[in-house]
Amino acid sequence: MKFQLLTKGVLLLAACVFAASLQAGERLAKADVEAALAAAYAKYKDLQEGANADYIPALAKVDSNIYGIALVTPEGEVYTAGDVKSEVSIQSISKVFTMALVMDEKDPEAIFNNMGVDATGQVFNSIVAVEQYKGAEMNPLVNAGAITATSMVAGNSREDIWNKILSYYAAFAGRELSVNQEVFKSEAATNQRNQAIAKLMYAYGHIKDNPDQATDIYTEQCSVNVNARDLAAMAATLANGGRNPITGKQVMRNENVAEVLAVMATAGLYDDSGKWLFLTGLPAKSGVGGGIIAVSPGRFGIAVISPPLDAAGNSVRAQKAIADISNALGGNPYAVTPAK
């Protein structure tokens, strides 16, 4: 059902993939990007599908009409449409950047060996997925793997670890970020399921100690406020080999970017990741706050915020808008034209 809804619009645009196929390193034309953003914004502005997440009470109260699109190129050009000022909590999009931090501090094998890099085929907060392989054979973008990744960030105190995580995210966004205290408190009061998942990961030896602290820091990282422009800058940093194209700062190790993108492609939209990759070819990550980031390596980072979600927990408008824009701009890295 969901698949059919998405395909409808996207397949109509399939021809454009070929028409607009972009070679790596080729600059996007300003007018094309502006037209693609404006068209996607207008097309989905009045769409009423989906509903805000409500299992975290504070998320149910967020304005469902927030709808903002931003795209940032490796040259640091910023394009926007709609509301790119309103902030929502980053939620699961944070998992990408904590994974990157752990890879930077240790190495990608630490992730590979501890929780794995495979899709679970289960919902993001699945306990069945933990049980199936005793906490292995999953990935850092589902809750069990993500809380475990947070537990792997080095530091002498909770404060140390937290400050490191927040400043790492801020370097990707290119500005200081802060926590939405209402969301943090709301999730902290209702996250017994995540606490249980962390205890299981501890029981199976993936979290080495203090699973409650890992869950608490994870909950706080999910509550960081971002707008669509922040998320697009974060995505564009990944699209640009780990260097923030706006600030010019090398934020993460260049050699780890490919692994981060691979995990996003495998598991970024949870159990709908395969459908998403089939339709767009883009490594991406969603959050239940309503944001999605997607990366066309070497070409652009894009983000859309719109809180109403589908059954898998992915923003309805964000999926459609990103798919349209990427297809219009030839963003699919798998779509190449044969050599002459």
- Work out whether 184 is an interface residue with ligand GLN (CB under 6 A): no
Which phi and psi angles does 179 have, rounded to 5°? Answer: -95, 140
Closest CA to 104 of 144, 145, 164, 146: 164
- Work out whether 124 is an interface residue with ligand GLN (CB under 6 A): yes
Closer Cβ to ligand GLN, 22 or 165, answer by number? 165
- Work out whether 187 is an interface residue with ligand GLN (CB under 6 A): yes
Which of 308, 313, 330, 333: binder of ligand GLN (CB under 6 A)?
313
Least distance to ligand GLN, CB of residue 199, Å: 15
Closest CA to 140 of 239, 52, 237, 207: 207
Least distance to ligand GLN, CB of residue 110, Å: 22
Closest CA to 258 of 243, 231, 239: 239
Closer Cβ to ligand GLN, 41 or 270, answer by number? 270
Least distance to ligand GLN, CB of residue 187, Å: 6
Among residue numbers 136 through 165, which ones bind ligand GLN (CB under 6 A)? Answer: 143
Whole-number Å distance between alpha carbons of 327 and 340: 23
- Work out whether 129 is an interface residue with ligand GLN (CB under 6 A): no
Least distance to ligand GLN, CB of residue 90, Å: 8
Among residue numbers 278 through 307, which ones bind ligand GLN (CB under 6 A)? Answer: 287-288
Closer Cβ to ligand GLN, 91 or 332, answer by number? 91
Least distance to ligand GLN, CB of residue 121, Å: 16
Going residue by residue from 57 to 96, which x/- string records binding to ligand GLN, judged by CB under 6 A?
A: ----------------------------------xx----
Whole-number Å distance between alpha carbons of 112 and 107: 9
Using Cβ positions, the residue closest to ligand GLN within the complex turns out to be 92
CA neighbours closer than 13 Å in the CB half-sphere of residue 39: 16
Closer Cβ to ligand GLN, 107 or 118, answer by number? 118
- Work out whether 194 is an interface residue with ligand GLN (CB under 6 A): yes
Q: What is the DSSP letter of 133?
A: T
Which of 52, 73, 120, 125: binder of ligand GLN (CB under 6 A)?
125
Decide if 310 contacts 290 (C-beta within 8 A): no
Which phi and psi angles does 284 have, rounded to 5°? Answer: -150, 170
Q: b/e map of 14-43 (b: 16 or more CB within 10 Å)?
A: eebbeebebeeeeebeeeebeebbeebbee
Whole-number Å distance between alpha carbons of 101 and 182: 26
Which of 222, 251, 302, 305: binder of ligand GLN (CB under 6 A)?
222
Task: State the pairing for strand pair 291-296/284-286.
Answer: antiparallel
CA neighbours closer than 13 Å in the CB half-sphere of residue 236: 28
Least distance to ligand GLN, CB of residue 43, Å: 25
Query: Which residues contribute to the site for ligand GLN (CB under 6 A)?
Result: 91-92, 124-125, 143, 187, 194, 222, 287-288, 313
